[in-house]
Copies of this chain bind each other. A is one copy, B any other.
Amino acid sequence: MFALDPRLERDTLPVGDLPLSRLLLMNDAQYPWLILVPRRPGVSELFDLAPEEQRQLWEETTRVAETLKALCGAEKMNVATLGNVVGQLHMHVIARHGGDPAWPGPVWGRLPAQPYEAGAASVWRERLRQAFAERPGFLEE
Contacts and interface: CB of A to CB of B under 8 A. Distances in A.
A2 to B, nearest CB: 20
The number of times this chain is found in the oligomer is 2
A78 B76 contact: no
Nearest to A97: B84
A112 interface: no
Contacts of A106: 82, 84, 106, 108-109
Given A106-B106, A108-B105, A78 B69 contact: no
Interface of A: 44-47, 54-55, 58, 62, 65-66, 69, 76-85, 87, 96, 103-106, 108-109
A45 B77 contact: yes
B80 A80 contact: yes
A81 B104 CA distance: 13
A78 to B, nearest CB: 5
Contacts of A62: 46-47, 54
10 contacts: A44-B76, A45-B69, A45-B76, A46-B62, A47-B65, A76-B87, A78-B84, A79-B80, A80-B82, A105-B109
